[in-house]
Chains A and B, each alone.
Chain A
Amino acid sequence: MSAASVTKTSRRRRTSIGGGLSPYFFVAPFVVLFVVFLIAPIGIAIWNSLFSEQSSGLGFGGSETLFVGIDNFVRAFADADFIEGFGRVLLFGVVQVPVMLLIAAILALLFDSGLVKGTRFFQFAAFLPYAVPGVIAALLWGFLYQPSVSPIVQGLSNIGIDANFLAPGTVLWSIANISTWSTVGINMIILFSALQALPREMYEAAKLDGAGQIRIALGIKLPMIAPAMLLTTISSIIGTLQLFNEPQVLKSVTSSISSDYTPNMAIFAASTLGKDTHLSSAMAIILGLATLVISLVVLRLTNRSTKKAQ
């Protein structure tokens, strides 16, 4: 947008509405929603986390809300199961995010290479699971994991493999499978769009220099879409830390998932089942900060490595 065109449009607006007010008018809905649904809840959560509902005796005399400072944070950190949940989602993320992104990158490169026939159909097929809401996806996979109703388990057992997708040791990876299935599509699309935006002439030049398709993919395409990879990595990490739908749904079909299996489930349990919104606010803030810190660390590390590469 050139400076001239800006002046022109703003002058026109001034005549039609009067004053340079229209930007505020258009921005207002966003700002209001942003404040009401993001800033205000965070503020309320921080405020809430500093208090506690206290009764005395049998409690029938009612309760009062007392300022307790960081007590709720101390309680949250002292809850071994809550902390264990962080370890669990980190383990999950370390495995699931690279695997998922690897699959998404391979698919995106394949679709971009022009080697695949029926690209549109396969792209659509790969993207479709993303259109299935998380809860529904978990329900669908829940059926495929339960031995008596699962064609997969029965098929495997026919060829002599005794699979238990819901055992304590395997259920985390069964959840990882659901989220990979759900999110590969969208990440593939993001990476694919980044690939499509690259100038084609570079491939010509590389080909003249004798580079094959794989060499072009690894040497040119992937480094060029590094920013898109970073975006997908960070949003996937955030998604991992927020893990809730899949384990919460599978919880109803297996005893291998406790009510505080992931940090978000622990927060849900503390607020709706334990009815302690103050404690759960503190837990939510801890989760938010952990997400922020991990995202910043990933950002810092990748920035450093891209700089080094350049």
Chain B
Amino acid sequence: MKAMKLDRFSSKRFATAATAGVLAIGLLAGCSSGGGGDSTSADGVTKIDFWGWVPGLEDLVTQWNDENPDVQVSFHRMTGDDGTKVEAAVDAGAGPDLVQLSTHNLPDYVISGRVQDITEYVTEEEEKFTPASWASVSLADKVYGIPQGIGPAGTMYREDIFAEYGIAVPTTWDEYVDAARAIHAANPDVYIANMAPGEIGQWAQEIQQAESSWYGIDGDTWTVGVNDEGSQLVAERWQILLDEGLVTTEQMWTPEYWALVNAGKIATVTYAAWFPIQLAENAADTAGLWKVAPMPTNEGSTNAGDSGGAAVVVLKGAQNVEAAADFASWLNGSDDTQDALITVGGLFPSTTTGLASDALVTEQPFYGGQEINEIYIEAAKNTPSTWVDGPNYGTAQTAITDEFAKVINGEETFLEALYAAQEATVADLEARGLSVSE
């Protein structure tokens, strides 16, 4: 190809090449359009982008838009791994104004400056919410979000299995271990529960019940308690159940797991208030055989546990913070929205109005007509407010689920897993320059 003379690279040629390049870049830019902060258009209408995952939010957003012509909200339903996109979107300036977030992740958002302080706009909101849920959106005396639902725990159990083998439904964890032995002895195919190493929520609710907290604040220093006393108590219990072969160890939400549940091989599932509907959907063949009881308690305590809730937060890019905070307050706190959030959204409310709503206490055919939420309402009242969320929940969670997998594979004990996860969590905070003590 010597015929081509590259040495005659004139400015004109460059211009053509550059034009082509600009065109290509234009195409690329096209890929990333959409999103963007709120903007007030010429006619004075504030536009707010809101990302969330609760079912039925579309209808509530429409209701708000009809009632508030000046503040128009557009809703994007989060699916799959949308949650992991939020941070990148915010950093790129293309994030929404409002997003639904697990409260476990809130401290990270505060530290990285991705969420805005809304304290001044929500002073009158606090009284509508339960103290524990309001605490979950408050950090260092500032409010960063509006609570949206909590996850108090209860124990779903197969009434028929307990009746068949003449075993009483356990009310304490000691009785639970005994019941586990009795059930498995009566029928070697049946296990009291499934210990899913990756299902951190089930671990979280039990250690919270035992007044453990992964994080704490001591003056200007974070404390880390992944292996604290409460966690060790829970670890000992599961070590016994695992060592004696009284539990299955499948990952949750898998076909294998649901096959075990449907086959009647798992006698109890202890999980949050949003789980009963999941069970009903995935184990339809077992309708009428389940009941819900309070989760077993630890000796000398009436505590229940909670696997964590969600909040709606105002993100960094939002320009009209007040309008965004107002919408979030209305959505999660207004008396008008509670019934829809409960019935359509399947949320367990974090407001006192919601908790007193008739919509919450309805008979559930799958659970033999039991008004199961009465159990969960009681659990919400009995949840200790000792849990503190801290920075980098993701690292602690990954560390602990990886270590638990090793436990399930017989490579170490739960106690050893807790110490390894503690070390990893502390090391990560230190690597971020945060002040930390164990």
Which residues of chain A have a CB within 8 Å of any CB of chain B?
1, 3, 6-7, 10, 19-21, 23-25, 27-29, 31-33, 36, 52-60, 62-63, 75, 81, 142-143, 146-149, 168, 251-260, 269, 272-276, 279
Tell me whether B394 and A10 are in contact (CB under 8 A): no
Chain B residues near A272 (CB-CB < 8 A): 84, 394
Tell me how far the C-beta of A74 lies from the nearest C-beta in chain B, rounded to whole angstroms: 11
10 other A-B residue contacts (CB within 8 Å) besides A147-B256, A273-B397: A3-B2, A3-B3, A10-B3, A20-B4, A20-B13, A31-B21, A32-B20, A255-B251, A259-B402, A275-B108
Give the shortest distance, in Å, between B220 (CB) and chain A (any CB): 4
Cβ–Cβ contact A274 & B394, under 8 A: yes
| Residues in chain B near residue A149, CB distance under 8 A | 255-256, 259
Q: Which of B3, B197, B263 contacts A148 (CB 8 A)?
A: B263
CA distance A147 to B256 in the complex (A): 7
| 13 A–B contacts from the bound complex (CB under 8 Å) | A6-B3, A19-B10, A20-B13, A24-B17, A32-B21, A52-B431, A57-B434, A58-B434, A59-B391, A75-B431, A148-B255, A148-B260, A272-B394
User: Do residues A148 and B432 form an inter-chain contact, with CB atoms below 8 A?
Assistant: no
Q: Point out which of B17, B197, B408, B428 has the most chain A C-beta atoms below 10 A from its C-beta.
A: B17
Across-interface contacts of A36 in B (CB, < 8 A): 25, 28
- Write out the residue numbers on chain B whose beta carbons fall within 8 Å of the beta carbon of A31: 21
Residues 215 to 244 of chain B near chain A (Cβ within 8 Å): 217, 220-222
B405 interface hit (Cβ, 8 Å): yes
Expressed in whole angstroms, the Cα–Cα distance for A54 and B20 within the complex equals 41
CB pair B13 A56 closer than 8 Å: no
User: Does residue B185 face the partner (Cβ distance < 8 Å to A)?
Assistant: no
Contacting A at CB under 8 A, from B113-156, are 113, 139-140
* Chain A residues, CB < 8 A from B395: 273-275
Q: Name which residue of chain B comes closest to A32, CB basis.
A: B24
B364 on the A face (CB < 8 A): no
A20 with B5: CB separation less than 8 A:
yes
Question: Quick one: closest A residue to B84, CB to CB?
Answer: A272
Q: Does B16 contact A (CB under 8 A)?
A: yes
Measured CB to CB, the closest approach of chain B to A243, in angstroms, equals 18
Instruction: Determine whether the beta carbon of B398 is less than 8 Å from that of A259.
Output: yes
Residue of A1, A149, A253 ringed by the most chain B CB atoms within 10 A: A253
What residues of chain A lie closer than 8 Å to B251, measured between beta carbons? 252-255
- CB-CB < 8 A to A276: which residues of B? 428, 431-432
Contact (A60, B140) CB under 8 Å given A20-B4, A21-B16: yes
Chain A residues, Cβ within 8 Å of B20: 24-25, 28-29, 32
- Within the complex, which residue of B17, B84, B112, B260 is in contact with A63, where a contact is CB–CB below 8 Å? B112
The CA of A58 and the CA of B397, in the complex, are separated in Å by 20
CA distance A245 to B29 in the complex (A): 28
Q: A255-B408, A273-B395 are in contact. Are A146 and B220 (CB under 8 A)?
A: no
How far apart are the CA atoms of A142 and B4 in the complex, in Å? 55
Q: Which residues of B contact A273 (CB under 8 A)?
A: 394-395, 397-398
Chain B residue nearest to A22 (CB atoms) is: B16
Q: Which residue of A lies closest to B91 (CB)?
A: A277
Query: In the complex, which of the residues B3, B24, B221, B434 contacts A55, with contact meaning CB atoms closer than 8 Å?
Result: B434
How far apart are A4's CB and chain B's nearest CB, in angstroms?
Answer: 9
User: Per-position contact with A for B1-29: 1 when CB-CB < 8 Å, else 0?
Assistant: 11111001010111011011101110010
A251–B1 Cα distance when bound, in Å, is 52
Instruction: Find chain B residues with CB under 8 A from A60 CB.
Output: 110-111, 139-140
A1: which B residues are within 8 A, CB to CB? 1
How far does the alpha carbon of A31 sit from the alpha carbon of B21 in the complex, in Å? 8
Q: Are B4 and A23 in contact (CB under 8 A)?
A: yes
B433 at the interface (CB under 8 A from A): yes
In the bound complex, CA of A19 to CA of B402 (Å)? 62
CB distance from B37 to the nearest CB of A (A): 20
Contacts of A57 in B (CB 8 A): 220-221, 434-435
A71 to B: closest C-beta gap in Å:
9
CA distance A228 to B3 in the complex (A): 32
Q: Provide the residues of chain B in CB contact with A23, threshold 8 Å.
A: 4
* Chain B: CB-nearest residue to A260: B402
B396-415 contact mask (Cβ, 8 Å, vs A): 1 or 0: 01100110111011000000
Q: What distance in Å separates the Cβ of A179 from its nearest Cβ neighbour in chain B?
A: 21
**Is B305 close to A, CB under 8 A?**
no
Whether the Cβ atoms of A56 and B409 lie closer than 8 Å is no
**Cβ-closest chain A residue relative to B429:** A59
- Asked whether A28 and B87 contact (CB < 8 A) given A255-B409, A274-B392, the answer is no
CB-based contact A253/B398 at 8 Å: no
Whether B263 lies near A56 (C-beta < 8 A) is: no
Residues of B close to A58: CB separation below 8 A: 140, 217, 220-222, 434-435
- Binary CB contact string for chain B from 348 to 360 against chain A (1 if under 8 A, 0 otherwise): 0000000000000
Q: Tell me whether A255 and B198 are in contact in the complex, defined as CB-CB below 8 angstroms, given that A146-B256, A148-B256 are known contacts.
A: yes
- Quote the shortest CB–CB distance from B354 to chain A (angstroms): 30
Closest A residue, CB atoms, query B112: A63
Asked whether any CB of chain A lies closer than 8 Å to the CB of B172, the reply is: no
Whether the pair A6, B221 counts as a contact (CB closer than 8 A) is no
Residue on A nearest B259 in the bound complex, by CB? A148
Contacts of B4 in A (CB 8 A): 6, 10, 20, 23
B249 touches A255 (CB 8 A): yes
Inter-subunit contact A29/B13 (CB<8 Å): no
**In the complex, are the beta carbons of B401 and A259 less than 8 A apart?**
yes
Q: Is the CB of A253 within 8 A of B13?
A: no
Chain A positions within 8 Å of B435 at CB level: 56-58
Does the CB pair B392–A275 fall under 8 Å?
yes
Cβ < 8 Å to A, chain B residues 165-221: 197-198, 217, 220-221
Q: With a CB–CB cut-off of 8 A, which chain A residues contact B222?
A: 58
Asked if B254 is at the interface of the complex by the 8 Å CB criterion, the answer is: yes
* A-side contacts of B21, CB under 8 Å: 28, 31-32
Does A256 lie within 8 Å of B405, measured CB to CB?
A: yes
Interchain nearest-CB distance for A20 vs B (Å): 7
- B3 touches which of A7, A147, A257, A269 (Cβ 8 Å): A7
Please tell me if the beta carbons of A59 and B198 are within 8 angstroms of each other in the complex. Answer: no
Task: State whether A21 touches B17 (Cβ < 8 A).
Answer: yes
Chain A residues with CB under 8 Å of B217's CB are 58
Residues A275 and B13 in contact, CB atoms below 8 Å apart: no
Which of the residues A3, A19, A55 comes within 8 Å of B12, measured between beta carbons? A19
Complex alpha-carbon distance, A112 and B385, angstroms: 72
A-B pairs, top 7 by smallest CB distance, nearest first, are A28-B20, A148-B259, A24-B17, A54-B433, A255-B405, A32-B24, A59-B111
Q: Is B405's CB under 8 angstroms from A59's CB?
A: no
List of B residues within 8 angstroms of A258 by Cβ = 402, 405-406
Kindly list chain B residues whose C-beta atoms are within 8 Å of the C-beta of A254: 251
Closest to B18 in A: A28
On whether A63 and B113 interact (CB within 8 A), knowing A54-B433, A252-B254, A269-B398, the answer reads yes
Contact present for A168 and B409 (CB under 8 Å): yes
Interfacial chain A residues near B263, Cβ < 8 Å: 148
